[in-house]
């Protein structure tokens, strides 16, 4: 790595490099971000996710039309300069719809993580750290929830909450709890035997401080990888559920709804109608998986420093 | 081995029971009166009262659960609230097409995933390895139901090779039935096959680095013997667990693929249940699905215990 740095001498670079190095030493977050940005897969992920994030945040500014706006005389048009991704069966601009669709995909999956990860990690840490009956109860609960594979958990919860975008986010958040709990517990079991934990305990630190200040930072990388992978799962699940009519209701533009609307028009040769949501979905999923790979490469002591 | 079997079996039973309690309790949170759902909005107050009595909705929750469970064990899951039939008979009808798809999909997983993984693992960087990597990338970006749509697009619409959607019973016309089964089978199995291939590849590569493989080579055995007799058998042991775990995800994935291909089965039934908030139906179906999942996992653990004695001791 130092080798690569030295091959690119430039005026004023010395100072910047020293500063970057200091940041990397001071903050583990910055160090991981730096390493991810140096991986090929990390770079691809950052570019795609960056573009999608901008789309999601500034959807209103980027989309040339409203997502539900029907443009006179523009039914099922193939891609052109005015409509780069074509138009759909009721004359709406597909580029605009997909931009808004990405917003929904990202916010639902980020929402699911925001709900499920803190709860799951807290349960997992507690089970791993305290052991005994806390662990027994938590593990029974986790095993029971994991007995509903994949999208089945979502179906149970949606039956109660009813359908809708927010409901899907909550549902997928609940589904995330056992996933993160199991991982956090395993990490905790490994870490709590380490000498530094013993040292902190000897100094009289209370469990909550030991967990938050000492152990948490050391169990972060696997949790971050899981977060990226679960986001990918949540994106698929949201698309599936809205495809099935259990998510957002039309005319809301979700990837799943656009896919479902496009199906009957295949026989009419409207390939752009189907290709647009598929491409958006595939790029997003590949980027999230690459991000997970890059974090693994950047944080695993076996892989890095090679 | 005996105590291992008993312990593992007991664990499975506990998980199924807890899962059924969880589903039962969660379903009671559904807003609205099931009795009203069953008799319709126009029914008189006495009618509703009568239905409530009949369904046992006035009993305490614990009794309701025990009654439901004792029925479920005998195959009686109570009446569906929206379909006008018994949940048990609805599931029996849906079982055949779903099992057909699940079995076909799983065969696809094994037939594609394991050989692909083996060839990729034997020569990392070779052509099969690239094929496996490409396949994995593809399935990462294209989820099962989207793959289903793409298959319909390419194979059925553009090339007119296969019928678009629907199902023919295998007993009626086996050849025609297979034609309808090809695309759903690939859609259900592809993602799982890629996961399995990656796992097999890693396992083969790890095994080939073991000392006993070097010993086998050192004593002058032919490469084929080394791979087939020494490495392969050990490399495929951990695959059992992964292969079994994937069955659950295959089944949950089949739910949506069935809808894409308009196949009758568990998928459309359970989604009707969710939309209609038919908790009796969802409760029955999920309990059956979870039981299948847990039984498969338990069997995999037991099989693992048989082939690898170290597991039994823990």
Instruction: Give residue A304's pLDDT.
Output: 47
Pick from A105, A159, A275 the residue to mutate for testing the B interface (most B CBs within 10 Å). A159
A13 touches chain B (CB under 8 A): no
3-state secondary structure of A193: coil
- Of A138, A137, A126, give the one whose Cα is nearest residue A210: A126
**Residue B244 near residue B298, CB atoms below 8 Å:** no
**What is the model's pLDDT at position B312?**
63
Q: Tell me which residue has tokens 């929904």.
A: A104
Tell me the CA distances in angstroms from B67 to B57, B70, B76, B82, B138, one per residue in order.
Answer: 11, 5, 10, 21, 48
SS3 content of chain B, % helix, strand, coil (to 5): 80, 0, 20
Name the residue in chain A with its Cα closest to that of B287.
A148
B10 contact A CB<8A: no
- For residue A2, the model assigns a pLDDT of 47
B28 touches chain A (CB under 8 A): no
For chain A, how many residues are written? 306
Which whole number is the average pLDDT over B151-174? 81
The DSSP bridge partners found for residue B229 are: none
Residue A92: what pLDDT? 87
**By the 8 A CB rule, do B286 and B23 touch?**
yes
Tokens at residue A181, please? Answer: 């709990």
**Angle between the B127-141 and B87-122 helix axes, to the nearest 10 degrees?**
140
**pLDDT at residue B184, as a whole number:** 93
Do B275 and A246 touch, CB atoms closer than 8 A?
yes
The pLDDT tens digits for B221-267 are 888 888 888 888 888 888 887 888 888 888 888 889 998 998 888 88
Which residues in chain A are contacts of B141 at CB distance < 8 A?
Answer: 281-283, 285-286
Grade residue B29 by pLDDT with cuts at 50, 70 and 90: confident
Looking at chain B, the whole-number percentage of residues with pLDDT higher than 70 is 96
DSSP 3-state of A147: coil
Predicted local distance difference test score (pLDDT) of residue A181 = 93
> Could you read off the pLDDT of B46-65 as tens digits, one per residue?
877 777 777 777 778 888 88
Cα separation, B108 vs B85, in Å, equals 34
ipTM of the complex: 0.85
Ranges of chain A whose pLDDT falls below 70: 1-12, 301-306
Peptide bond into A251 cis (omega under 30): yes
Select the more confidently predicted residue: B288 or B30. Answer: B288
| Substitution target from B11, B28, B31, B145 for chain A, most A beta carbons within 10 A | B145
Q: Is B306 exposed, middle or buried (0-12, 13-18, 19+ CB in 10 A)?
A: middle
The Cα angle at residue A173 between residues B292 and A45, in degrees rounded to 5:
105
> Residue A151 is nearest to which of B14, B30, B252, comparing CB atoms?
B252
C-alpha pair distances (Å), B300 with each of A162, B100, B111, B244: 36, 21, 19, 6
Give CA angle at B254 (B248, B259), nearest 5°: 155
What per-residue confidence (pLDDT) applies to A199?
86
Is the CA virtual torsion A127, A129, A130, A133 positive or negative? positive
Question: Which chain A residues are within 8 Å of B140, Cβ to Cβ?
Answer: 232, 285-286, 289
Q: Nearest CB to B145: which of A148, A243, A274?
A: A243
Residue contact B145–A152, C-beta within 8 A: no
How far is Cα B94 from Cα B90, in angstroms, rounded to an integer?
6
- d(CA B183, CA B178) in angstroms, rounded, equals 9
Give the separation between CA B188 and CA B182, rounded to whole angstroms: 10
Q: What is the pLDDT of residues B293-307, one digit of tens each?
A: 888 888 888 887 777
Q: What is the reported pLDDT for B298?
A: 85
What pLDDT was estimated at residue A1?
Answer: 44
Chain B residues touching residue A144 (CB < 8 angstroms): 15, 18-19, 22
Q: Which residue has the tokens 């697009």?
A: B153
């Amino acid at each position: 790595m130092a080798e690569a740095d030295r091959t690119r001498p430039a005026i004023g670079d010395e100072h910047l490099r020293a500063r970057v190095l200091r940041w990397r030493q001071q903050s583990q977050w910055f160090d991981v971000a730096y390493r991810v940005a140096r991986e090929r897969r990390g770079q691809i992920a950052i570019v795609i996710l960056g573009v999608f994030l901008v789309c999601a945040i500034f959807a209103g500014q980027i989309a040339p039309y409203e997502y539900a706006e029907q443009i006179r005389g523009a039914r099922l048009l193939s891609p052109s300069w005015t409509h780069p991704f074509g138009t759909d069966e009721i004359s709406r601009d597909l580029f605009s719809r997909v931009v808004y669709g990405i917003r929904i995909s990202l916010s639902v999956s980020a929402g699911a993580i925001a709900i499920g990860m803190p709860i799951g990690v807290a349960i997992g840490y507690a089970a791993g750290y305290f052991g005994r009956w806390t662990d027994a109860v938590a593990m029974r609960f986790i095993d029971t929830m994991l007995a509903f594979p994949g999208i089945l958990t979502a179906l149970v919860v949606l039956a109660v909450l009813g359908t809708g975008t927010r409901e899907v986010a909550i549902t997928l958040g609940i589904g995330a709890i056992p996933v993160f709990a199991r991982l956090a517990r395993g990490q905790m079991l490994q870490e709590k035997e380490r000498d530094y934990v013993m040292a902190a305990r000897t100094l009289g630190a209370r469990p909550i401080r030991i967990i938050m200040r000492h152990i948490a930072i050391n169990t972060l990388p696997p949790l971050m990888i899981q977060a990226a992978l679960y986001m990918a799962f949540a994106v698929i699940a949201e698309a599936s559920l809205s495809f099935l009519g259990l998510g957002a209701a039309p005319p809301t533009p979700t990837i799943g709804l656009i896919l479902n609307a496009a199906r009957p028009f295949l026989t009419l040769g409207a390939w752009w109608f189907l290709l647009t949501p598929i491409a958006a979905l595939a790029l997003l999923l590949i980027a999230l998986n690459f991000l997970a790979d890059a974090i693994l490469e950047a944080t695993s002591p076996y892989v890095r420093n090679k | 081995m005996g105590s291992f079997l008993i312990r593992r079996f007991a664990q499975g039973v506990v998980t199924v029971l807890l899962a059924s309690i969880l589903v039962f309790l969660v379903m009671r949170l559904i807003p609205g009166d099931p009795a009203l759902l069953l008799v319709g909005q126009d029914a008189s107050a006495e009618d509703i009262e009568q239905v409530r009595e009949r369904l046992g909705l006035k009993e305490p929750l614990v009794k309701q659960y025990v009654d439901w469970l004792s029925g479920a064990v005998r195959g009686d899951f109570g009446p569906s609230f929206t379909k006008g039939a018994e949940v048990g008979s609805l599931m029996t009808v849906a079982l055949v097409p779903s099992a057909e798809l699940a079995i076909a999909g799983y065969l696809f997983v094994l037939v594609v995933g394991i050989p692909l993984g083996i060839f990729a693992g034997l020569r990392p960087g070779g052509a099969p390895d690239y094929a496996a990597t490409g396949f994995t990338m593809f399935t990462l970006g294209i989820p099962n139901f989207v793959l289903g749509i793409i298959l319909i697009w390419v194979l059925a619409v553009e090339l007119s090779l296969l019928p678009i959607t629907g199902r023919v019973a295998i007993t009626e016309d086996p050849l025609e039935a297979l034609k309808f089964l090809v695309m759903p089978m690939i859609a259900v199995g592809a993602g799982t096959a890629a996961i399995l291939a990656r796992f097999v590849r890693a396992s083969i590569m790890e095994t080939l680095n073991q000392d006993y493989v070097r010993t086998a080579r050192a004593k002058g055995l032919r490469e084929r013997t080394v791979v087939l007799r020494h490495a392969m058998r050990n490399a495929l042991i951990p695959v059992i667990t992964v292969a079994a775990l994937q069955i659950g995800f295959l089944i949950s994935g089949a739910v949506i693929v069935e809808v894409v291909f308009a196949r009758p089965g568990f998928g459309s039934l359970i989604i009707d249940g969710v939309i209609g908030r038919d908790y009796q139906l969802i409760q029955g179906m999920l309990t059956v699905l979870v039981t299948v999942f847990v039984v498969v996992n338990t069997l995999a653990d037991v099989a693992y215990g048989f082939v690898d004695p170290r597991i039994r001791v823990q």
